[in-house]
Structure 1
Amino acid sequence: MDLYEYQAKELFGRHGIPVPAGAIATTPARAGEIAAELDAPVVIKAQVKTGGRGKAGGIRPAAGPAAAATEADRVIGMDIKGHIARRVLVEAATVPFEEYYAAFLVDRAEGTFLAMVSAQGGMEIEELAATDPDAIVRLPIDPATGVDADTARLLAAKAGLPEQAAGVLEQLWRVLVEEDALLVEVNPLICTTDQRIVALDGKVTLDDNAAFRHSWEDYEESTDSLEDRAKAKGLNYVKLDGTVGVIGNGAGLVMSTLDVVAGAGADPANFLDIGGGASAKVMADGLEIILADPDVRSVLVNVFGGITACDAVANGIVTALELLGERGHGRPIVVRLDGNNAEVGRRILSDARHPAVRQVSTMDGAAETAARLAAGA
């Protein structure tokens, strides 16, 4: 379970990790009140479970209460990569002297824990790893010994962080262990002009398998993100950054489809596996989720009939488009059917003559068509 930034910082605070003063607002008026209570310049931060908030305009400075209310009004309701900002964190503005990166996570490939620390914080860790991999100190952590004061000092020294950062690194490790987290990340972890170490941001992923040991009810809430809506419908969905929506039956086929779409010169907008039982309801739910993403310009349905025959899939698509009504007409839907009863399924789609549907017989051809349509060609 991923936490919002404000929830991560609540955990940090309980473990003695310094964070800026702030509070949550769900209305512009409340944001202004919080800014007045803090009696200082503030930052309005969209609370969504995705990165890229700053680039999307979801993090805004405000000099006082009136400006805080204005900026909160701009941010609340903002769509950031399919996540709707229903609340904002109104936080005292903190000027960093230096910015660092620190994370502890479960390294599944090696079957252990991993510490990642860098003196170059503030940028996305993937970008830093690509441009300057030597800037990141990676240290495997023995679960039996963990991170004590000596290990924390070693990490800080190797990464070029000031000595006082070691204490915060040790506390971040305690968050990971005591809260049964899979990931604890701070980017940026800052040193202020008066030499205080402060977690300016926070990302925490809790292990759902450990829920019985904790009281996490406060963190479990319904949201309107596409991932949450898909999860509620029993769909395996992951939002990506592209323009071609992808639906397939089976994780392996969907992964292959993503690769083929990328090879056709387009970026996939999502991963959506409808599984083996592609009923009309499942197909309708899948199309509804994908078409709710404003970034999607075309949809590629790639199905290999096996246990569920292609004629059942085709009937599901036709019924789904009937259920969606006008929502199913706006963007082209490219369909590739193969396998059990593929010819019957193709005939069903042809007879339906839905204006949004284009049939292509091969996966490569379907991907190329979807990519071309997404580009407006």
Structure 2
Amino acid sequence: MTSLSMRLLEYQGKELFDQYGIRIPRSHLANSLSEAKEGAKKLGYPFVLKSQLTVGGRGKAGAILKCRTEAELEPKFSELVHKEVKGELPRGILLEEMADIKKELYLSLFLNRSKRCYSLIASAEGGVEIESTGNKVVVDVPIEGISPQVAEDTAGRLGLAGNAAVAFVDLATKLSKMAGEKEAELAEINPVAILGDGSMLALDAKVIIDDNAMFRHPELKKYEHVSELEKQAEENGFSLVELDGNVAIIGNGAGLVMSTLDLVSDAGGKAGTFLDFGGRATTETIYEALTVISKIKRVQAILVNLFGGIVRTDLVAQAILDAYKNNIIAVPVFARISGAESEKARQMLNGSKAKLYPTVEEAIQAAVAAVGKGN
């Protein structure tokens, strides 16, 4: 089943790496130009400016820039602060020293739920999307951690020898220990830099923690981030979690919404929101929910999975109609509505821009197809 997860920013992931003895570059987090200038004095030129985002693809989007001189700092820092990547603005800019890289690797551990263990993926090619790399090593790792023998074998399969092989075993062991102890769903370093002496440096960090495990890790609470839209949702009486997909999911009841997320994923789609308006929804709160979703630029379709019990489905239908009438939403709505007043709700939406389906599976297939076609 899909779980809601906490995605750490790069600098946060590297803080965890540092706690486990994984070597990271010297860096300085800046939220203002004055802080960036302070960091530049500490690091010295040249260095790299890196937008701190939870979404991927920032390199291709121009959200990582080299800064070679003092004259470049202000314009490049300003450029990154205002640059959106997949609808997300940065939560800080990381200034990081440049490394003298001889070679790059890829290394990650992800929680393989089907096998109830971690899977380690490593590749002699770093800094690339691992999905596009044919030359990779995949090894199952027990929850208690990778064994030295498996780490050594993996180093050999990557063509590493001498100091580099020793450094890889040390890095893989520490990353495995961190992932297990912090209950991470993913711990990825892409790329791992191999330096001239064979030592290794984590140039990036992607760490995802399972929200379900957070109650066991109060030390990680400082990394939780609630967006302005999530705060707005809470103030209006419904729950919203922003995700990185393009299909907004709305329903009544956390279990119903969560299972819908799973079905969307199974159909090849990616959820853009988890929105649960619970059992006390009114036309006004649902209208407000649609208003909040309209502010998430990456959302290209809205999927409504509604089972009316305490909630009257005709109130939901009226909110959808009002949102279209007032140009609050422009993207298509795909809905499966059943339960209390559902016949009335279907009659109200008949002929509108909202598309109704008898089953949630049909609604999902239509939504995912529409997004895939760019509709």
- List aligned pairs for 1:1-377, cutoff 5 A: 1-128=6-133, 132=134, 135-144=135-144, 146-161=145-160, 162-163=164-165, 164-208=167-211, 209=213, 211-224=215-228, 233-235=238-240, 237-240=242-245, 242=246, 245=248, 247=250, 250-251=256-257, 252=259, 270-274=272-276, 277=279, 279-296=282-299, 299=302, 301=304, 303=306, 305=308, 308-318=311-321, 321=323, 328-329=327-328, 331-334=330-333, 336=335, 338-340=337-339, 341-349=341-349, 358-362=353-357
Distance 1:6 1:120 in 2: 23
Distance 1:81 1:229 in 2: 21
Distance 1:217 1:105 in 2: 21
| Post-superposition offset of 1:211 | 4.0
Distance 2:38 2:152 in 1: 41
The secondary structure found in structure 2 opposite 1:183 is strand
CA contact under 8 A between 1:44 and 1:62: conserved in structure 2? yes
| Post-superposition offset of 1:359 | 4.0
Letter in 1 for 2:57: G
CA contact under 8 A between 1:272 and 1:286: conserved in structure 2? no
Distance 1:127 1:156 in 2: 21
CA contact under 8 A between 1:114 and 1:141: conserved in structure 2? yes
Distance 1:254 1:211 in 2: 23
Distance 1:338 1:213 in 2: 39
CA contact under 8 A between 1:298 and 1:374: conserved in structure 2? no
The secondary structure found in structure 2 opposite 1:79 is coil
Distance 2:10 2:244 in 1: 19
CA contact under 8 A between 1:33 and 1:65: conserved in structure 2? no
The TM-score, its normalising length taken from structure 1, stands at 0.78
Letter in 1 for 2:114: A
Distance 2:275 2:348 in 1: 22
CA contact under 8 A between 2:301 and 2:334: conserved in structure 1? no
CA contact under 8 A between 1:227 and 1:238: conserved in structure 2? no
| Post-superposition offset of 1:293 | 2.0
- Output one character per residue of 1:196-237: Cα deviation in whole Å (capped at 9) or x when no partner: 31100012223442544542343234444x678768841355
Q: Kindly tell me: are residues 281 and 175 of structure 1, through their superposed partners in 2, closer, same or farther at Cα, counting changes over 3 Å?
A: farther
The secondary structure found in structure 2 opposite 1:78 is coil
Q: Structure 1: which 5+ runs fail to align?
A: none
The secondary structure found in structure 2 opposite 1:167 is helix
Q: Kindly tell me: are residues 359 and 222 of structure 1, through their superposed partners in 2, closer, same or farther at Cα, counting changes over 3 Å?
A: closer
CA contact under 8 A between 2:52 and 2:93: conserved in structure 1? yes
| Post-superposition offset of 1:63 | 0.5
The number of aligned residues is: 354
Distance 1:70 1:64 in 2: 11
| Post-superposition offset of 1:91 | 0.4
| Post-superposition offset of 1:281 | 4.9
Q: Kindly tell me: are residues 359 and 141 of structure 1, through their superposed partners in 2, closer, same or farther at Cα, counting changes over 3 Å?
A: closer
CA contact under 8 A between 1:246 and 1:268: conserved in structure 2? no
CA contact under 8 A between 2:188 and 2:207: conserved in structure 1? yes
Distance 2:131 2:58 in 1: 16
The TM-score, its normalising length taken from structure 2, stands at 0.78
Q: Kindly tell me: are residues 257 and 310 of structure 1, through their superposed partners in 2, closer, same or farther at Cα, counting changes over 3 Å?
A: farther
| Post-superposition offset of 1:55 | 1.7
- Output one character per residue of 1:104-144: Cα deviation in whole Å (capped at 9) or x when no partner: 2322111122222111221122333xxx1xx2212222345
CA contact under 8 A between 1:235 and 1:273: conserved in structure 2? yes
Q: Kindly tell me: are residues 97 and 288 of structure 1, through their superposed partners in 2, closer, same or farther at Cα, counting changes over 3 Å?
A: farther
- Output one character per residue of 1:235-269: Cα deviation in whole Å (capped at 9) or x when no partner: 355331x4x65545534556656788x7xxxx767
The secondary structure found in structure 2 opposite 1:81 is coil
CA contact under 8 A between 1:2 and 1:205: conserved in structure 2? yes
Distance 1:200 1:330 in 2: 41
Distance 1:46 1:172 in 2: 24
What CA RMSD, in Å, does the superposition of the two structures yield over aligned residues? 3.7
Letter in 2 for 1:3: L
CA contact under 8 A between 1:230 and 1:237: conserved in structure 2? no
